[in-house]
Structure 1
C-alpha cells in the first residue's frame, strides 16, 4: 500500500476514508502478538504436532523456531522501514520493485490469514466440546459472530480484549507447567532415548511435526500489519515483535516437553483438547483450563480476522484485484467493516467444512512462501540503503531466514511426495 495518491483515490472512490487510526501502544502490541501466536500454537495445533513427532515434539518446535526467529527479526526491521497495514504486500513490492509480486504476496497472505482464522475457530469448537455439548455448527457460527463484533468495534477495543485474554492464557500455561513438572523434568531423557533409535520414520515424523509447528509462529506477521494503528511505530513495532517471539518460544518448548515427558503421545494426539487432557491426567480438574483455553483461542482467531481484513482493505484501496468498495474505513469505528464482513463469511465456511490438520498444513505452506519473500525483500533493501531510524539487523538474518524457509518448503514437498 502506498500511503499517497493511490490509496487516497481508492478511498474516495469507495465513498469514505481509507486511513486507520493510531490507537495501540507497545504493550498492547506485545499482548496482541503473544496472544495470537499462543492461541494458534499451543491451544490448537500442539496435539497435531505431538501426533506427528511424538517425543521429538520439542525438537519440532525448535526447528520451527529457527525459521520463525530469523524471519521475525527480518519483520522487525522491514516493518519499521515500511510501516503500513499492507505488511508483506509493500515489503515484497518495494524490495523487488515489482507491484505484481507485491500483489501476489498480498493474495497469498490474505488466504493464509483467513485459513488460519478458520483453523483457530475449529480448535475453539473442539475445546468447547470437551466440557459442554453444543452442536459444532452452532458453536462455530456463534464464535465467528463474536469475533466479528469485536473486530468491527475498533482496534483499541480489540487490543484491550486481547490483553486480558493473553494474561489469562499465560497464567494458564504457567499452571499447566506446574502440574506437569514431573513430566517436564522427564522430557530430556525421553528425547534422548528416542534419538538413540532415530530412523527414517522418526525423521519423517520430526519434519512433519516441525512443518505443523511453523504454523504456531505466524503471529508476528500479523503484528507488522498493525503499523498504521500503532503509536511510535518505528520504535514500538521492532521491540514488540522481539519480546513476543521470546515469550512464545519459551512456552512452546516448555509445554511441548511437558506433554511428551511421560510417553503418552497417543492420548495427547487423540485428545480434542490436549492441555485439558494432560491436566486431568495429573488429577486436576480440567474445566478451568478448558475455559481459559477458550479465551486464548478466541484471541488468536480475532487477530487472524483483523489481519485478513487489513489486507483486503489494502487490496481494495490500491486496486490490487479487488474493487475500491473494500478499501473503505468506517468513520465511526475506524475499522474496515466491509473487508471484515467478507473475511468472516469465508472463515465460517472453511471452519464448517475443512478438517483442522488440512487447514494448518495449507496455512504453513502459504506462510513459508511469504516469509521467504519478506526475508529476500529485506536483503534487497539493505543492499540499497540502511536508514538511521530503524533497527539494523545483521545481513545474515534475512539470508538465513530465506534459506530456512526454502528448506522447510522443500521438506514439506518431500513429505508429500514420499507419503
Structure 2
C-alpha cells in the first residue's frame, strides 16, 4: 500500500456508550488511586479522602465543558480542535495538541515504571527490563486495532474495579482497624485543614486524569452527540464513588504513619490476609497500572494522528493502514518516546508534570468554550452547558494548579 493510500484511510466508528465508559474508567481508575492514597494522606492526614472530592468537583466542571466541545467537534486531537475554534489561532491548536499528547506519553511513562516495580517484587527481574517489556507489549496491542485494544482495556478495567471493591469489602470486615474513625475524616472549618486538603488535591487530581482522553477517540465513537456526554459523566460519577470508598477504607484500616510512607497503599489493607490473597491483589494492581499504559498510548497516538491529518504535523504520522485502521506511525512514535522517558526520568517527576500539563490544557479548553458561546450561535445539534460551567472550570483549574505551590 502506498503512503497516499494509507493516509486516506479513516478511523473506524466502533465505540458505543458502554465501551467508551469502560475506556474512560480504564484510564481514570488505575494507577492513580492504586498508588496515591498514601501520598495524599501524608499531606492531608485524616482529610485525605476529602481531597478526592475536591479534585472530583474541579474535574466535573471541565468534564461538562468537554462533553459540549466533543459533540461540537467529534474528532481526534479534540483539544487542539477546540482551541483552534475558540481562539482562531492555528499555532495555539498545535501547542495544545502537542501538550495533550505529551501528557499522555509522560503519564504512560510514569505508569509503566509503577507497573514494572510491582512486577519486580513478584518476579525479581530488573525494573528497567520489565519497564521496556510492559511498554512494548502494550504498544503491540495499541497497534492491533481500536475495537480490540478497547475490548482488552475494558476487560482489564473490570478487573481493576473488582480490585477496588475487594479492598472496600475486605476493609469493612477488619475487626480492629488501626487508622482514623470515619467521623474524624470530616474536615473542620479551619484554614490549616483546608490548606492541606487543597494541596493534596493536586495529587488526587492525577487519579482523575484520563476522562479527557475520551474526547480524543471521538472520531471512533458511534453517535457521538449522544454517546460522549453520557460516557464522560458516567465515568466521573463511578470513579468518584470508587475513590471515596477506597480512600475512606484505607484511612480507616491502616495506621497513618505506615500509610503515608507506602508506594503501594492499598496492599496494606491486606496485611493480615492469607498469602494467596496478598499475591492475588498484587496481580490486580499490576493489571491496573498496565491498563493505564495502553489507554494513554491510544490517546496520545490519536492526538498526533489528528494533528497530522489536519496538516499541523508531517503527513506520515497520519498513515492508517487498511489492515488495522489504527495510526501506525503515530503509535510507533509514542511507544519509542515512552521507552526513552521510562529509562531517563523518575516516576515522581513524571506524575507531577502530567498534572501540570493537564491543568494548563483544562484552562485553555474552558476559555475556548467561553469564546465559542459568546460567538453567534450555529444551528448545530450538540450537548449544551450554561456559560457559568466553563467560567468556573477556568477558575477551579487555575486554583488547583496554584495549590501545588502551597
If the length of structure 1 is used for normalisation, what is the TM-score?
0.89
In structure 2, the residue matched to 1:235 is: 226
Deviation at 1:388, TM superposition (A): 5.5
In structure 2, the residue matched to 1:252 is: 243
Deviation at 1:408, TM superposition (A): 1.4
Deviation at 1:292, TM superposition (A): 1.5
1:189 aligns with 2:183: yes
1:405 aligns with 2:397: yes
Q: Deviations over 1:44-77 (max 9, x none)?
A: 3333323332222111111111210111111111
- Identify the match of residue 374 of structure 1 among 355, 365, 373: 365
Q: Deviations over 1:312-368 (max 9, x none)?
A: 112323332x32211211221011111111111111222233222211111101000
1:166 aligns with 2:160: no
- 1:14, 1:84 → 2: CA distance? 21
1:39 aligns with 2:2: no
1:92 aligns with 2:83: yes
In structure 2, the residue matched to 1:179 is: 170
If the length of structure 2 is used for normalisation, what is the TM-score?
0.92
- Identify the match of residue 54 of structure 1 among 26, 45, 51: 45
Counting matched residue pairs gives 400
- Identify the match of residue 199 of structure 2 among 196, 201, 208: 208
Assess if the C-alpha contact under 8 Å between 2:156 and 2:288 holds in 1.
Answer: yes
1:296 aligns with 2:291: no
- 1:184, 1:323 → 2: CA distance? 57
Give SS of 1:226's match: helix
Counting only pairs closer than 5 Å after superposition, residues 87-126 of structure 1 correspond to structure 2 as 87-126=78-117
Which runs of 4 or more aligned residues in structure 1 lie more than 6 Å from their structure 2 counterparts after TM superposition?
none
Assess if the C-alpha contact under 8 Å between 2:38 and 2:260 holds in 1.
Answer: yes
Unaligned runs of 5+ residues in structure 2 are none
Assess if the C-alpha contact under 8 Å between 1:180 and 1:282 holds in 2.
Answer: no
Q: Deviations over 1:257-280 (max 9, x none)?
A: 111124622322333322122222
Assess if the C-alpha contact under 8 Å between 2:179 and 2:251 holds in 1.
Answer: no
Deviation at 1:15, TM superposition (A): 5.4
- Identify the match of residue 128 of structure 1 among 114, 119, 123: 119
